[in-house]
A and B are shown apart, each in its own frame.
Chain A
């Protein structure tokens, strides 16, 4: 019964005759010559390429799926990234400078880190003058207005005083730089409570460089003290 179902050649008799009547296709005349030449020369390279491993056949669907997930992940999660990325935010100090640029002319925009003396030097000596003496944790900017009125403006610096570098101590090498004195902590990261250390390579601070800056700061402080004394 099954044999008849599959072997119903009479049903396709006409078709089978057509197929059997097809002219035979032979190899080209030089087939054997070419073949034997190849063999005698040891040239066994195949004319048709072997069907090798095809990446796409097996992994294309999976790759596509992964790509869709990645795109969805990055596109859908994008809105929150700008707000938290410190590199995409304008530094607060720059904002202030640009805001005040229009009104009073800042001639001497020296910003002095304001810290209680005992936290910096560990003693209550008035080394840094009046500004430094105040116990507030705010920094002050000395502004000379066009009518020659000198005023002080409180600047909300992005530096966390608790994490800033004690230059004097560093030079004197009394204490080691704490682990919180990372570059990111100095450049505003700490004010947001953001502990990101960035991609900076930690460099050993050059003593000579610090001495130059200390000399500059001392000069400014001296000028400031003189200014207050004259006032």
Chain B
């Protein structure tokens, strides 16, 4: 009895797409991964439009380079790697623009407080939308190398091994970076905790 395409695992779908060039298999994979990737890229890059473009480029790269996927790896880590590389390139490009920009605002001030406590009343602080916005802003202040692993671990819920595979780092480095990223983020968000 042949299983329906939508019941296949990610790895089975990519195999189907590789062998028979079944576009439906590709579409199912796109459906499965577009939102998790969007969430990851948005938390990492911090801009919805750019994130949407990056995810679209990820899917195009997946379509064009389907044969470069090897079956011994998990499909999810492979596609996260593509998205992560594109997101990192985008951040590098932004950094360069910032360096050469004449109107260089000092956004890297690590001592920045997210909001003034007098402005941020307890009622407002508990509002989930505002909290989410504040957390997102704080996340953007964390160094990209730490931010990426924190997002993959604490938002996307990937294992250390998967993160190591996606980022190309050792597991020890991944853990160390996650720890440092969390520390930075906690420092930035201290007002939210205690508020």
Set B38, B59, B150, B154: member contacting A25, Cβ < 8 A: B38
The binding surface of chain A is classed by DSSP as loop
Collect the chain B residues with CB atoms within 8 Å of residue A39's CB: 60, 63
Set B39, B42, B57, B193: member contacting A48, Cβ < 8 A: B57
Q: A27-B35, A44-B60 are in contact. Are A20 and B51 (CB under 8 A)?
A: no
Q: Does B5 contact A (CB under 8 A)?
A: no
Q: Is the CB of A48 within 8 A of B50?
A: yes
State which size class the interface on B falls in.
Answer: 35 or more
Set B52, B57, B64: member contacting A27, Cβ < 8 A: B52
Which chain A residues in 27-54 approach chain B with CB under 8 Å?
27-28, 31-32, 34-36, 38-39, 44, 46-51, 54
Interface stretch, picked from A6-14, A102-110, A114-122, A157-165, is A6-14
- The number of residue pairs between A and B whose CB atoms lie closer than 8 Å in the complex comes to 100
Collect the chain A residues with CB atoms within 8 Å of residue B192's CB: 18
Q: Does A227 contact B (CB under 8 A)?
A: no
Q: A14-B193, A25-B39 are in contact. Are A31 and B52 (CB under 8 A)?
A: yes
Q: Is the CB of A22 within 8 A of B135?
A: yes
Collect the chain B residues with CB atoms within 8 Å of residue A5's CB: 179
Q: How many residues of A contact B (CB 8 A)?
A: 35
Q: Is the CB of B189 within 8 A of A18?
A: yes
Collect the chain A residues with CB atoms within 8 Å of residue B56's CB: 31, 34-35, 38, 47
Collect the chain B residues with CB atoms within 8 Å of residue A7's CB: 175
Q: Is the CB of B89 within 8 A of A27?
A: no
Q: Is the CB of B182 within 8 A of A15?
A: yes
Q: Is the CB of A22 within 8 A of B136?
A: yes
Closest to B134 in A: A18
Q: Is the CB of B52 within 8 A of A44?
A: no
Closest to B99 in A: A56
Collect the chain B residues with CB atoms within 8 Å of residue A36's CB: 27
Q: What CA separation (Å) do A46 and B172 show in the bound complex?
A: 34
Closest to A32 in B: B30
Q: Is the CB of B52 within 8 A of A28?
A: yes
Chain B window 37-61, contacts with chain A (Cβ cutoff 8 Å), 1 for yes, 0 for no? 0110011000010111111110111
Set B42, B92, B129: member contacting A51, Cβ < 8 A: B92
Q: Does A64 contact B (CB under 8 A)?
A: no
Q: Is the CB of B34 within 8 A of A32?
A: yes
Q: Is the CB of B57 within 8 A of A46?
A: yes
Set A25, A26, A35: member contacting B60, Cβ < 8 A: A35
Least CB distance, B13 to chain A, in whole angstroms: 16
Collect the chain B residues with CB atoms within 8 Å of residue A35's CB: 30, 56, 59-60
Q: Does B2 contact A (CB under 8 A)?
A: no
Collect the chain A residues with CB atoms within 8 Å of residue B114's CB: none
Collect the chain B residues with CB atoms within 8 Å of residue A54's CB: 96
Q: Does B90 contact A (CB under 8 A)?
A: yes
Q: Is the CB of B89 within 8 A of A51?
A: yes
Collect the chain A residues with CB atoms within 8 Å of residue B157's CB: 20
Closest to A34 in B: B56
Q: Does A21 contact B (CB under 8 A)?
A: yes
Q: Does B186 contact A (CB under 8 A)?
A: yes
Q: Is the CB of B179 within 8 A of A8?
A: yes
* A and B contact pairs by CB, cutoff 8 A, 16 listed: A6-B172, A8-B179, A12-B186, A20-B157, A22-B136, A23-B128, A23-B129, A25-B38, A26-B38, A26-B39, A27-B34, A35-B30, A39-B60, A47-B54, A48-B86, A51-B89
CB within 8 Å of A: which residues of B?
A: 27, 30-31, 34-35, 38-39, 42-43, 48, 50-57, 59-61, 63-64, 86, 89-90, 92-93, 96, 128-129, 131-132, 135-136, 150, 154-155, 157, 172, 175-176, 178-179, 182, 185-186, 189, 192-193
Knowing that A19-B135, A19-B155, A32-B30 touch, tell me 17 more A-B residue pairs with CB under 8 angstroms: A12-B186, A18-B131, A18-B135, A18-B189, A19-B154, A20-B154, A20-B157, A23-B132, A25-B35, A27-B34, A27-B52, A27-B55, A36-B27, A48-B90, A51-B89, A51-B92, A51-B93
